[in-house]
């Protein structure tokens, strides 16, 4: 639960500045592309919306891959006799204010709870609105009545299908008394719903404009893509810049359809007059905003649509492509940099009692010292041989001196190489694995020689935490002594007593 909260926190707080940056870059790119084809601007806004979800998600997944915010239960690959569990050092009880890592921002639990609760409530609201829009669309489609086109209408449909290279009879036509403007719906079986008033007018240019526009929506798969964009928008719908991207996608989508109608079906001036007539018959567009349909009156930018139809792009084809590549790089490179420099956010741990923690560490340090002395205590047989054989006694003493010297060299190297204190390592470990700390040792892996760590060697603290669920069980956590990341964690169950020991 704590891990998911930190991942979501990283996603949300990075999204605040990353989405604003992406929207600003997309706005600059759209201004540079203002004289090129509208479809280029549409692709730009769609790419910006995708990056608005992807870039913060990469920051959250980076936390997952980092391993510093995850409580993953894995088995140790080393035995207790390996360097991973040996080379203990008496812990230092000097207390310093410590965080999880030098690059992480800590937030209080109450602030995190308020932030995540507000986000989930807003997300539920947006999901409810989308479900309501879907239900309204289904109701409109179910209430529409399929029509049998007359000769004039059938001719308009055939002309549009031929000019757009669409398969005949791919689209179903229906009529509705509740809709003032034509719309398109249907994920798998497209349906174009025409208003009854439009059919009764019998204006050929008006019908051709409306049907041609909706046919282009079908050819571009705009209904399916619009539904996908709505789902993509959900996790970032709290951000005003994301709402701007979504609005620009709708507007440029309609401009793209207008551009194609003027190129393939009708003269631009004729289509512009029809567009004004259709828009004037529509009520305020808020009435259609609660549906997931796509239609000719989706974007409230009639003046911009008319100006776009009557003006032609001034750049040649080669410069358009070069400009599109430049704008794409302008959007992608800073977005990738924003993902790489994402900030880390973590939940602040519950403060522990310093006096109790120091007392426990002292007790464990004393127990460790006794265990080390017992490890060097010779058994009775060795003592007897040492008493009888002076040479054997000298050899044993020499080996003990060499071993103690190597141990001292390793300890000095460990203290020199470590960058965080033992107190900080304990806070990092207990923030991910709450419980009573039983032991904490400074150690290293892969020595090149006594006192010199190998190039791929790692200095770490091994923190042993009592399991709060399994009695006698412990969790061993390896914390990097340089940057404070969690290298490895694993649970150890209590050993079963054999009958011989009973």
Poorest-pLDDT segment among 54-63, 227-236, 240-249, 401-410: 401-410
Instruction: Report residue 245: phi and psi, to 5°.
Output: -60, -45
Mean pLDDT of all residues in 319-335: 88
Cβ neighbourhood burial of 263 (10 Å; 0-12, 13-18, 19+) = exposed
Mind listing the pLDDT tens digit for each residue in 170-229?
A: 888 999 888 888 889 988 889 999 988 888 877 888 899 999 999 999 999 999 999 999
* Cα–Cα distance measured from residue 236 to residue 123, given in angstroms and rounded to the nearest whole number: 9
How many CB atoms sit inside 10 A of residue 66's CB?
A: 13
Own/partner pairs, 329-334, CB within 8 angstroms, 24+ separation: 330/25, 330/28, 330/29, 330/32, 331/22, 331/25, 331/26, 331/29, 331/44, 331/47, 331/48, 331/51, 332/51, 334/21, 334/25
Cα angle for residues 489, 493, 494 (degrees, 5° grid): 140
Where do we find the tokens 């980092």? 66
DSSP 496: P
Contacts for 90 with CB less than 8 Å, ≥ 6 apart = 365, 368, 369
3-state secondary structure 197-247: HHHHHCCHHHHHHHHHHHHHHHHCCHHHHHHHHHHHHHHHCCCHHHHHHHH
Mean pLDDT of all residues in 137-147: 89
User: Is residue 125 pLDDT above 90, yes or no?
Assistant: yes
User: Is residue 133 pLDDT above 70, yes or no?
Assistant: yes
Mind listing the pLDDT tens digit for each residue in 154-167?
A: 888 898 888 888 88
* pLDDT for position 362: 63
Contacts for 18 with CB less than 8 Å, ≥ 6 apart = 52, 55, 56, 59, 335, 338, 339, 342
Confidence of residue 451 (pLDDT cuts 50, 70, 90): low
Domain ranges of the chain: 131-297, 357-497
Confidence of residue 48 (pLDDT cuts 50, 70, 90): very high
Where do we find the tokens 């929506």? 217
Cα angle for residues 203, 204, 206 (degrees, 5° grid): 65
User: Is residue 289 pLDDT above 50, yes or no?
Assistant: no
* Cα–Cα distance measured from residue 373 to residue 88, given in angstroms and rounded to the nearest whole number: 12
Alpha carbon of 84 to those of 87, 367, 450, 488: distances in Å? Answer: 8, 19, 16, 11
User: Is residue 150 pLDDT above 90, yes or no?
Assistant: no
* pLDDT for position 475: 87
* Cα–Cα distance measured from residue 344 to residue 428, given in angstroms and rounded to the nearest whole number: 14
Q: Kindly compute the dihedral angle of the four CA atoms of residues 353, 356, 361, 366, in this order, to the nearest 10 degrees.
A: 170
* pLDDT for position 458: 84
Mean pLDDT of all residues in 424-429: 87
User: Is residue 69 pLDDT above 50, yes or no?
Assistant: no
* pLDDT for position 28: 95
User: Is residue 50 pLDDT above 80, yes or no?
Assistant: yes
Task: State the distance between the two ends of the chain, measured CA to CA, in whole angstroms.
Answer: 41
Q: Are 466 and 435 in contact (CB under 8 A)?
A: yes
* pLDDT for position 123: 94
Closest CA to 109 of 426, 354, 433, 350: 350
Characterise 186 by phi-psi region: left (phi > 0), alpha (psi -120 to 50), beta (else). left
* pLDDT for position 232: 94
* pLDDT for position 445: 78
Return the sign of the alpha-carbon dihedral for residues 367, 373, 375, 379: negative
Q: Are 210 and 296 in contact (CB under 8 A)?
A: yes
For residue 443, what are the β-bridge partners? 460
User: Is residue 474 pLDDT above 60, yes or no?
Assistant: yes
Mind listing the pLDDT tens digit for each residue in 476-502?
A: 899 888 888 888 888 777 665 555 544
* pLDDT for position 122: 95
Confidence of residue 275 (pLDDT cuts 50, 70, 90): confident
Q: Are 222 and 184 in contact (CB under 8 A)?
A: yes
- Give residue 156's Cα distance to chain centre: 47
User: Is residue 375 pLDDT above 70, yes or no?
Assistant: no
Average pLDDT, the chain: 79
Q: Are 52 and 242 in contact (CB under 8 A)?
A: yes
Mean pLDDT of all residues in 350-356: 56
Confidence of residue 83 (pLDDT cuts 50, 70, 90): very low
In CATH, the number for domain 357-497 is 3.10.450.40
- Give residue 112's Cα distance to chain centre: 18
* Cα–Cα distance measured from residue 35 to residue 119, given in angstroms and rounded to the nearest whole number: 39
Contacts for 53 with CB less than 8 Å, ≥ 6 apart = 232, 235, 236
* pLDDT for position 77: 36
User: Is residue 70 pLDDT above 70, yes or no?
Assistant: no
Poorest-pLDDT segment among 106-115, 361-370, 395-404, 440-449: 361-370
Say whether pTM exceeds 0.95: no
For residue 55, the number of C-alpha atoms closer than 13 Å in the C-beta half-sphere is: 32
- Which tops the pLDDT comparison, 500 or 250? 250
* Cα–Cα distance measured from residue 95 to residue 55, given in angstroms and rounded to the nearest whole number: 38
């Amino acid at each position: 639960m704590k891990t998911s909260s930190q991942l979501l926190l990283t996603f949300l707080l990075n999204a605040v500045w990353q989405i604003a940056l992406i929207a600003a870059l997309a706005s600059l790119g759209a201004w540079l592309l203002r004289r090129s084809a509208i479809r280029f601007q549409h692709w730009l806004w769609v790419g910006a919306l995708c990056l608005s979800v992807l870039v913060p998600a990469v920051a959250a997944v980076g936390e997952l891959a980092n391993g510093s915010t995850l409580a993953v239960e894995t088995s140790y690959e080393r035995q207790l006799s390996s360097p991973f569990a040996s080379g203990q050092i008496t812990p230092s009880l000097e207390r310093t204010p410590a965080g999880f890592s030098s690059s992480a921002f800590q937030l209080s639990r109450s602030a995190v709870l308020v932030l995540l609760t507000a986000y989930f409530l807003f997300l539920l609201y947006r999901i409810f609105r989308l479900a309501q829009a879907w239900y309204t669309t289904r109701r409109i489609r179910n209430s529409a009545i399929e029509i049998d086109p007359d000769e004039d209408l059938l001719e308009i449909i055939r002309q549009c299908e031929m000019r757009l290279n669409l398969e005949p009879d791919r689209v179903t036509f229906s009529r509705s008394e509740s809709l003032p403007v034509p719309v398109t719906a249907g994920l798998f079986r497209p349906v174009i719903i025409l208003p009854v008033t439009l059919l009764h007018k019998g204006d050929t240019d008006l019908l051709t404009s409306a049907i041609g526009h909706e046919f282009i929506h079908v050819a571009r798969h705009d209904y399916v893509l619009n539904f996908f964009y709505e789902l993509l928008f959900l996790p970032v719908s709290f951000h005003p810049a994301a709402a701007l991207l979504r609005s620009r996608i709708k507007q440029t989508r309609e401009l793209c359809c207008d551009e194609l109608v003027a190129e393939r079906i009708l003269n631009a001036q004729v289509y512009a007059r029809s567009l004004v007539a259709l828009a004037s018959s529509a009520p305020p567009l808020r009435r259609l905003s609660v549906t997931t349909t796509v239609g000719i009156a989706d974007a409230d930018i009639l003046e911009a649509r008319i100006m776009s139809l009557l003006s032609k792009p001034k750049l040649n084809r080669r410069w358009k492509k070069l400009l599109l590549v430049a704008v794409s790089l302008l959007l992608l490179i800073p977005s990738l940099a924003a993902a790489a420099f994402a900030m880390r956010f973590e939940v602040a741990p519950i403060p522990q009692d310093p006096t109790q923690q120091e007392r426990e560490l002292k007790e464990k340090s004393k127990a460790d010292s006794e265990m080390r002395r017992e490890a060097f205590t010779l058994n009775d047989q060795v003592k007897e041989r040492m008493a009888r054989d002076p040479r054997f006694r000298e050899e044993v003493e020499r080996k003990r001196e060499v071993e103690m010297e190597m141990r001292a060299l390793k300890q000095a190297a460990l203290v020199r190489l470590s960058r965080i204190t033992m107190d900080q390592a304990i806070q990092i470990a207990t923030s991910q694995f709450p419980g009573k700390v039983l032991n904490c040792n400074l150690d290293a892996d892969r020595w090149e020689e006594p006192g010199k760590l190998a190039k791929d060697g790692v200095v770490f603290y091994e923190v042993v935490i009592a399991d709060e669920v399994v009695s006698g069980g412990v969790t061993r956590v390896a914390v990097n002594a340089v940057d404070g990341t969690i290298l490895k964690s694993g649970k150890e169950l209590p050993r079963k007593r054999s009958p011989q020991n009973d």
